[in-house]
Every structure is written in structure tokens, then in C-alpha cells.
Structure 1
Amino acid sequence: MFKLGWVVPEVKESINSFVKYGQKLTHVSPTWLRFDSNADLHLTVTEEEMHRFLEIAKEKKVKVVPLVVNERFDEGVAGSILGNKKMQEKAAEQLVKFAEKYQVDGVNLDFEGVFGLWRYEYTEFVGKVSEELHRLGKEVSVDVVCQTAPPKSIDDLKENMSGNFEEIKKMLSWADSYDYEGLGKLVDQFILMGYDYHAMGSEPGPVGPLWWIRDVLDYTLKIVDKNKVVLGLPFYGRGWTSIDKMRVEDWEPRNPMSREPMKTAFEAGFELGKAYDYREIKEKSRYFIKSGINPEENSPWGVWELEDGKMTIVYYDDLESLKKKISLVREYELLGIAFWRLGHEDERIWDVL
């Protein structure tokens, strides 16, 4: 089974997790590379750090496919590259040179943001990168924000809004940036980011609820070859702290089957959410005054009170919830699994991988 883990080099716990458990993976994707608006490729680590990591991966017999992002997930950066064929070629050429120079096994493309206006140009760019790297015998994977329905038609948006790009962008979501069918034909691995259903700016709720992941897979497998699909799962949890004093009795988990629009964090009375790793959550669990798990979501949650009368609600994944989500790989006959990110996890998960 294909098993990929993302590693953030500047986070000690992430590196330590790879050193300890990396041999359980087939692929590792260190977050090394970013493009700026001039299509210049930048390293986020020193060459010495990179070579040291490559040696560790070689010892563990794990393929290295560095993550490649548009700087700050900025739509303007994505658009400046994707909207110009020469810039696309420049960016693709730099990735090829990097892969040849450092003898990595491929790249993991992770352009994100509201760049749906260049949806098909992104497919074109991924095609250029794939063609060149495949010629060298290297792999290309792409990370996509999850869809459960076709993305909005760009042509329809342009027609209905008289081509006003600023207004069009307001109508697009991050998920609208991807041409599933086109991308799926070009890459070796099509990685679904099965997390951030409830994101930093949303009301409290599970990061990757089971029912939603099933909806995503049911939709995706109508379009993309299951032998290329990789299910990305979160090792992290997310917690939201109330803006003002709040009693635990005044909060109830959102009905997962609710037809009501999801509220923002502020509308629900909470600050922006923050990521928690499992060790932090395990420590906080001693102070849970209310906890539970909805079987349709399959994500545990807990609540603790703060001294100032506020409260924090955290949703997370532990060994049992992750095992159930990982079982979807066999149920749907997918290529494999990926985890964002190493260092956040319940370490018991490595015993079942």
C-alpha cells in the first residue's frame, strides 16, 4: 500500500517522528519548495539540512517527493504562474532541474487558494511537470481540496458577472480550483486532502468527519481511477475557544446531517481555531468536563473550561477513529493513504500501519 507522510522540517517533533517511524512509509514529502510570483523556486531549508534528510530517507528506503506550494497559498502567485505559458514553462523547468540535481524521487504539487479562474491552466501546468519528470522516471502527485460535486463553471461565472474577476473570485471556494478529471489522468497519485471540513475560521466541528469523507470518495471515484486515489487524513486536531464566557451546557455539537449552512467561528461565538497535536489533547483530556463521539462523524471531541469562564472545544482523531478511516482504503480499493503531518499523531497508529 502507498503510504505518504508530510514532514515540516522546521518543526522538531515532525522530524523526530520521521526519524523514529519513517520506515513505516513508502513516501515522505518534506515541505521544502515554494514558488513566488516570478515563478522562482525557493528552498525552505539549507542544502546541508536537505542532504541530511535525504540520507535518513535512503537508510529507511523511503522515496522522497518534496512538497511544492504557491507562496502563502496566494491566488495571485498561482495566477501569475498559471496565467502565463512562459511562466509555466519556467516553473516546470526549475522543478526538473531540482529533481535531477538532488536525485529526489519526484514532487508533490500542492497549489492551494482561490485560483479557480486558472483551474484548467493548473491542469496544463501539472501536465508539463508530469511529462518532464516521467521522462526521467520520477513520480508526480497532486494534492486537492475535497469536492463532493462538480466545481463552479468559470464560463458561466464570467458570463453572469460580465467578466468582473474580483466579483468572480468572491463566488469561488478553494475546492473550485481543481479539475479532477484532467489532473487524475496526468499524475501518479491523486491525493485527497480529507481534512479541514471544519477549518480554522468555521464553527467547532470535526476536521475530517467520516460521512463527509465517504461523500468525497463516492464523488471522486466516478471521475478518477481508484488506482491513483490516495486518501489524506489528519494527524492533528483543532480546538476553538469561546470569545466570551460560555457555559458548557449552552453548547451542543452541530448535527452532522444538518441542512443549515455552517457558521463561521465568530458567528458561533468562538475565536479562530488552532491546531493541536495528539499529545496536547491527551494532556487536556484530564480536564474534559464533557466529551463524546458521533458515529457518523467518527471524530472524538472534548470540552474544558478556562479560568476566565471561557471554554475550549477540541475535535481530534485517535487510534480508533484513524483505524476506521484508514479502513476506507481497502473498502474503496484505493491506492493508499497520506497523513498531514508527522509529529501531530497518536503514536499508537504506527503499530497498525
Structure 2
Amino acid sequence: MQKGSCCDLKRNRQGRIRKKRRLGRVLLLGAVIAGAGWAVWSFLPNFDREQPEWRTVEKPIFIEGKWSGYHAVGSGESLKLPLSLIRESIHAYAYEDPDGETAILTTANELLVMAKDGKTAESNGKAYALASPLQEEEGSLYVPVEPLERLYGIRIEEQSPAGSVVVLRAGDRFRSGSAVDGGLFGSPKLRGDATLKAPIASELEAGTKLRVWNERDGWLYAQTADGSSGYIRESEVQLGQEEQIPVPETAPTAASREWADQKVNLAWEAVYERRPDPEVIEEMQGVNVVSPTWFELKDGAGNIRSKADSAYVGRAHNRGKQVWGLFSNSFEADWTREMLGDYETRANAIRQVLDEAAEYKLDGINLDFENVYTEDKAPFVAFVREFTVRARQAGLTVSVDVTPKSNSEMWSAFLDRRALGETVDFMMLMAYDEHWASSPKAGSVASLPWVEQSVSRILEEDEVPASKLVLGIPLYTRVWTETEENGEVKVSSSAVGMETSQKLVDENGAKRELLADVGQNYAEYKEDGALKRIWLEDGESLKRRIDLARKHDLAGVASWTRSFASAQAWEILQTVNEK
């Protein structure tokens, strides 16, 4: 190879090396510049500004520092809040009657009814003067703030006749504060999120008063007096005292005081065409409440039928027993819907039942509504709240009957057990008819595991206090008849009381067997070629049910029905209040 060629190769190789070095330096410089740019970008805040949606709304309403999506009307004494907002965010039991012209506000002890454009409302049946009437605007009802402040303990801060309205609810907690100098980047700022990269919601001056609602990762969620809200760095706020809006005191109900040291031991008295002899009161030893089925709905206008008997009440009172008259809807779904659908018809039914209670000197009312359309769930709660307030005003204890939770539309799904539990003094769990009269399969009326599951679901899922839940106990069972037709088992049943079922077992020489899985004695025998099966309600099952009520510290027991009981049943029921 020639010498010149070797030199050329060497020069070419050195050139390539120099190019690679220059490229490396360029790439390194680019990386340094990019890194520096990223660092600067990371350090620099977002200077973009966002316009809150509420800025275009007149009198926007704020709750917990956030726009509620609603606006108020009026100002000063005539300021009003939308009823929908009140129900959603202030009190769940403030509601509109289906007529669209009546607003109803309730607490545990007060029922306030306002008609559109009326200068006077009705509070617990008495006239109540309003500073400003209920108003309708764009299809929505607006409620004056004065009764809201009194009933629910809210506070209102109105910025100006057209400015923001801040609603502070009873129990709300927050801290006062003021903005301080923003440092390197100027004035302190509220941002849309807890990061410098969030757009600016509002620029503040040092000293601007703030209400601080919560803290997140070194940022505070705060609001100014004009409604502006957002996140501000903790270093830009001088924090003051923590404050809490007082919660109105609720006096204990008469029932909660009266039953604080004893359990309810109730027996229902099924009353049909013939009045029971008051002498039957003497049978029910240990029972402290009797509940005769005296009152029932007789039409959709809220009129009732009464079978009340002063002699029965007198004998019960003489024996130290309270009388809680039962009021049923006659299991008539259409009448019930019509009655529940309007405040006036609900009030008519309530008035008639309470008049009867006063005339016969009753101590309470037991509400037993069954076979109700699922769509009437909310109207039924409204009725029970209205009934309870007026009944308590009359010195009565109110209880409501509920079935165990199931998918049955007309017998279970319509019951809002949580709302009812928040309303009444006691809730009677009718823990029977696990296998009902026309059940396709024979079985226990109320097996112990099924009963306990029914109790637990209401305590846990619906959060009904144990101190309000009363366990319903069956004093009856079913005699199941199984026959075989064309290779299929046909099942039928008849309900019998405790003594009758025992007699059938004894007369037919059947052997009793304690079934651990259901907690009851079981017997079977043949009659005319058919298999007879009985899951017995006897002393054994009754003791276990009372023990279950004690285990969950329930408010007591309620037995259906007096005429089905045996002498042994009353002896065992006497133990309900034993310590």
C-alpha cells in the first residue's frame, strides 16, 4: 500500500472521531438545556386564569366552600333558598308535596307546612307567621330562610343583594384565616387544584379574610367572602381559630325516656268483627303493651274505620299495660296511593286516628302498612314523619311494622327502613312468614338463622338502632300437607296456634325432634295418605327468640297474636324484662 493512502485513511478516521465528539457535545448541551427548561417549567407556576361558572349566576349559593349549582332569590328578610337544595344538602326530610304548591319542613318534633304565596304557614297545627311567603320560580319552590335557620340551625351570609350566598350548616367546621404576601410570584392566589400548575381561580390581596374548609398536601381549600374559592398554599395563609356552627339541641322523646330502663313486651290483639272480651287481658302476664287492630283505612280520601273499645282500654290500664292501637292501610294499594299522594288526605287520616286516640285515651299508635306500591316509598316516609310529629305532640308513642328485607315489591321493597328508623320511636320487625301460606315449599314460619339474618341486616345495612328495633315473634305455626299427584309433590298449609299444634302432634303420636339448623322442634305424621309436617312454635322456640333479642340488645319483642298463644307462652314471655 502507498504511503499517501495510509495518511488519507488516518485523516478520515480522525475526522469521524471529531464529528462524533462534536455530536456528543451537542447532545449533552441539548440535554442540559432541556433539563434546565424542565426545571424552570417545574418551578414556574401556571399563570392562566379560569372563570368560575358561578360568576355568571345571580346569587349563587355556596356550601362548604363550593358552588351548590343552585341560586337564591330575594334578599334580606325575603331571601329564599330552593327546596331541592334544602332536601339535598341541609335536611333530607324537607320536601315538596305532589301538588307542587306546598313545602313541608320536618324535624323530630315539628311539622311546618307552607303553601305557595301564603303569608301564614302551619306549625304543628297552629298558625305561623312568615316574614316572606313560599315562592315559585321557574317551576321550583323557594323557601324563606327564617324557618330554615330556626328549624335546622343554618346560618346565612349574603354578600350583597345580587352577590353570593354562603350557607353554613349546623355542625360545619372550618378555620378562619387571612391571606399573606405571595412572595416571589406576587399576590397570594386561589387555584383550581392543590398544585402550582392549576389555573388561577382568584388573585387575593394580602389581608383578605378566608374561611378554610380543609387541608391537602400543604394546600388549604379556602373561600373568600364574595364566594371565590380554591386551593392556596399553606404558607400564604395566616390561620386563626377553628369554629363550628352549633347543632340545635334535640330534646329526648318521651318514649326514649319512658322505655330507657325496660324492654317492650307487646302482644298484638287481632280484632275482627267481634270485639275481644276485656277479660283476655288477664291472660297476658308479663306483657306491658297490647296493640289491638282497631283502625283501618276505608278509602283513598284518608277516612278511617274504628273498632276501638273503651272497656278493653280500661282493663289494660288497670293492669298496668299500655295500649297502642294499630292503624292499617287495609292492605289496599290503590287507597293507600291516593291517601299518600296529597298532604290534605294524609292530614285527614292522621287527624282521625289521633282523635280516636284521644277519645279512647290510648298510649300509642302502631302503623301497619302492607301491600304498598314501591313507587310510594317516599310518600309513605312523608306520611310517617307527619304522623309521628303530630302523635308525639299528643303524647303518643309511634311504632311502625316492617317485614324482613326481600325482593318482594309490594311487601318489602316499598319500606325505607333507614328513614323510618330515623323517624319513629320503635320499629317492629315482623320476623315471620319465612314460609308463607301459599309457599310452594313446606318449612318453618321463622327459622332462627333466618330471623337472626333479618335482624342483622336491618341493624347493619339500614343502621336502625337496636334500642328502636323490636323483634316480632310468631305464636302460630303452619300445618303443612304434602300429597303426590302425577309424580309431583303438592303443598298446602293452614295456620294454627301453639296449643292446637301441640294437640295435633300428641293425638297423632308424632315424635318431636329438635332441629339444630332451624332452632325448633319438628314433627311429622301421616293422615289419609298425606304427609303432615309441623315446625313447632313452642316453649323451646320462644326461649330462643327471646335470647336472640337479648343477644342483640333489641328494644324488646312483639308477639303475633294473642289468640294463638298457649299458657306456656305467657310464662316464658314474663322473662323478657328479667335482668
State the TM bucket, normalised to the shorter chain.
Answer: 0.7 to 0.9
Is the Cα contact below 8 Å between 1:23 and 1:62 reproduced in 2? no
Say which SS state the counterpart of residue 480 (structure 2) adopts: strand
**1:190 Cα deviation from its structure 2 partner:** 0.6
Q: Are residue 53 (structure 1) and residue 291 (structure 2) matched?
A: no
Distance in 2, matches of 1:114 and 1:312, equals 34
Is the Cα contact below 8 Å between 2:285 and 2:571 reproduced in 1? no
* Structure 2 segments unaligned to the other structure (5+ residues): 1-262, 575-579
**1:10 Cα deviation from its structure 2 partner:** 4.4
Is the Cα contact below 8 Å between 2:483 and 2:489 reproduced in 1? no
**1:89 Cα deviation from its structure 2 partner:** 1.5
Q: Are residue 206 (structure 1) and residue 444 (structure 2) matched?
A: yes
The 1:268–1:17 alpha-carbon spacing in structure 2 relative to 1, beyond 3 Å, is farther
Is the Cα contact below 8 Å between 1:23 and 1:60 reproduced in 2? no
Distance in 2, matches of 1:346 and 1:22, equals 10
**1:15 Cα deviation from its structure 2 partner:** 5.1
Within a 5 Å distance, the mapping from 1:276-287 to structure 2 comes to 276-286=496-506, 287=508
Higher helix share: 1
Within a 5 Å distance, the mapping from 1:75-90 to structure 2 comes to 75-90=333-348
Q: Are residue 19 (structure 1) and residue 257 (structure 2) matched?
A: no
**Cα offsets for 1:119-148 (capped at 9, x unmatched):** 111111011110001011111000001116
Letter aligned with residue 238 of structure 1: R
| Pairwise CA RMSD | 2.4
Other-structure match for 2:432: 195
Say which SS state the counterpart of residue 227 (structure 1) adopts: coil
Distance in 1, matches of 2:315 and 2:523, equals 37
Letter aligned with residue 208 of structure 1: A
* Structure 1 segments unaligned to the other structure (5+ residues): 152-170, 251-266
**1:333 Cα deviation from its structure 2 partner:** 0.8
**1:36 Cα deviation from its structure 2 partner:** 1.9
Other-structure match for 1:146: 404
Counterpart pick for 2:413 among 176, 185, 194: 176
- What is the number of equivalent residue pairs in this alignment? 306
Distance in 2, matches of 1:216 and 1:22, equals 27
**1:42 Cα deviation from its structure 2 partner:** 0.2
Q: Are residue 233 (structure 1) and residue 473 (structure 2) matched?
A: yes
Distance in 1, matches of 2:530 and 2:387, equals 49
**1:173 Cα deviation from its structure 2 partner:** 4.5
Letter aligned with residue 107 of structure 1: I
Within a 5 Å distance, the mapping from 1:235-250 to structure 2 comes to 235-244=475-484
**1:321 Cα deviation from its structure 2 partner:** 1.2
Say which SS state the counterpart of residue 198 (structure 1) adopts: coil
Other-structure match for 1:131: 389
Say which SS state the counterpart of residue 208 (structure 1) adopts: coil
Q: Which entry has the higher C-alpha Rg, 1 or 2?
A: 2
Within a 5 Å distance, the mapping from 1:30-41 to structure 2 comes to 30-38=292-300, 39-41=302-304
The 1:320–1:13 alpha-carbon spacing in structure 2 relative to 1, beyond 3 Å, is farther
Distance in 1, matches of 2:275 and 2:390, equals 35
Distance in 2, matches of 1:288 and 1:36, equals 47
**Cα offsets for 1:144-174 (capped at 9, x unmatched):** 01116xx6xxxxxxxxxxxxxxxxxxx7251
**Cα offsets for 1:252-300 (capped at 9, x unmatched):** xxxxxxxxxxxxxxx85112x2111111111111215465332121122
Counterpart pick for 2:522 among 285, 292, 301: 301
**1:8 Cα deviation from its structure 2 partner:** 2.0
Q: Are residue 117 (structure 1) and residue 375 (structure 2) matched?
A: yes
Distance in 1, matches of 2:298 and 2:320, equals 32
Letter aligned with residue 266 of structure 2: L
Q: Are residue 217 (structure 1) and residue 479 (structure 2) matched?
A: no
Distance in 1, matches of 2:274 and 2:552, equals 35
**1:182 Cα deviation from its structure 2 partner:** 0.6
Instruction: Return the TM-score normalized by structure 2.
Output: 0.50
Distance in 1, matches of 2:563 and 2:418, equals 33
Q: Are residue 42 (structure 1) and residue 305 (structure 2) matched?
A: yes
The 1:102–1:70 alpha-carbon spacing in structure 2 relative to 1, beyond 3 Å, is same
**1:233 Cα deviation from its structure 2 partner:** 0.6
Is the Cα contact below 8 Å between 1:293 and 1:299 reproduced in 2? yes
